[in-house]
């Protein structure tokens, strides 16, 4: 069974631009969560989608948004990029809900110049 | 207040020896789940082991075992017979009911296995 895939793996953008990251969950998984990892703040939860609905949201500004498609694939978008958005963005998928283990993808490393 | 605390920022361990990574947590919910993940330098988070708050026995998965002390709110990871490939960051995480699949992570412990 293929694992969680994320594209692109690396991305370089400049301040003010926007970016879209993609995540394909493990086949059959319906929940997708996104996390931001930085050296200063560690791993922080962004949001979770389940059956195309945002079920939970972390404490991030509205510039961070996401969506989930009917095939459970998810995208997250960051608008008006800031230098502080440079981070590793990790996507995780699980079967359904809170009792299931989350499996992570390899991450997208975003650098904002 | 920190929900997950990993007090060891980094540690060395000799190959073939066991190592214990500390994790303490804070929650008022009686039902919760505790996870350990390994993150090599490549960045991917690899699931290692899970402990549910109502599980009667400590979880084990191959060379990984969890020393779960509920009253002390600690969930320490024990890696037996360390291998060079165990060199990585290790994260403890907690999931609470009512928060969907949201995981709250500790700051991590970097482990370096010496040959």
pLDDT digits (tens, 9 = 90+) for A21-77: 999 999 999 999 999 999 999 999 999 999 999 988 999 999 999 999 999 999 999
Percentage above 90 pLDDT, chain B: 83
pLDDT tier at A1, thresholds 50, 70, 90: low
Reply yes or no on whether the pLDDT at B78 is more than 90: yes
Reply yes or no on whether the pLDDT at B1 is more than 60: no
A83 backbone dihedrals φ, ψ, rounded to 5°: -55, -35
B48–chain A nearest CA distance, Å:
10
**The pLDDT of residue A99:** 67
- DSSP state, residue A25: P
Q: Which residues of B touch A (CB under 8 A)?
A: 33, 35, 37, 42-47, 50, 52, 91, 93, 95, 97, 99-108
Higher pLDDT pick, B98 / B55: B55
Asked if B47's CB is within 8 angstroms of A104's CB, the reply is: yes
pLDDT tier at B70, thresholds 50, 70, 90: very high
**The pLDDT of residue B22:** 97
Asked if B47's CB is within 8 angstroms of A102's CB, the reply is: yes
* Beta strand segments in A25-60, E: 31-38, 42-50, 53-57
B55–chain A nearest CA distance, Å:
13
- DSSP state, residue B26: -
């Amino acid at each position: 069974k293929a694992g969680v895939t994320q594209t692109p793996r690396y991305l370089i953008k400049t301040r003010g631009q926007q970016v879209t990251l993609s995540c394909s969950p493990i086949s059959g998984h319906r929940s997708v969560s996104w996390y931001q990892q930085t050296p200063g703040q560690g791993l922080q939860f962004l949001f979770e989608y389940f059956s195309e609905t945002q079920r939970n949201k972390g404490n991030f500004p509205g510039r961070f948004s996401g969506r989930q498609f009917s095939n459970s694939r998810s995208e997250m978008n960051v608008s008006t990029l800031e230098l502080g958005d440079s981070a590793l963005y990790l996507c995780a998928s699980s079967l359904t809900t809170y009792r299931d283990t989350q499996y992570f993808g390899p991450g997208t490393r975003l650098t904002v110049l | 207040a920190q929900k997950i605390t990993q007090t060891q920022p980094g540690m060395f361990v000799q190959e073939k020896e066991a190592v214990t990574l500390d994790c303490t947590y804070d929650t008022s919910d009686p039902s919760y789940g505790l996870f350990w993940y390994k993150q090599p330098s490549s960045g991917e988070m690899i699931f290692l082991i899970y402990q549910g708050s109502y599980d009667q026995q400590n979880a084990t998965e191959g060379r990984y075992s969890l020393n779960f002390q509920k009253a002390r709110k600690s969930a320490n990871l024990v890696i037996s017979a360390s291998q060079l490939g165990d060199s990585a960051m290790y994260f403890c995480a907690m999931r609470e009911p009512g928060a969907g699949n949201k995981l709250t992570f500790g700051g991590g412990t970097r482990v370096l296995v010496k040959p």
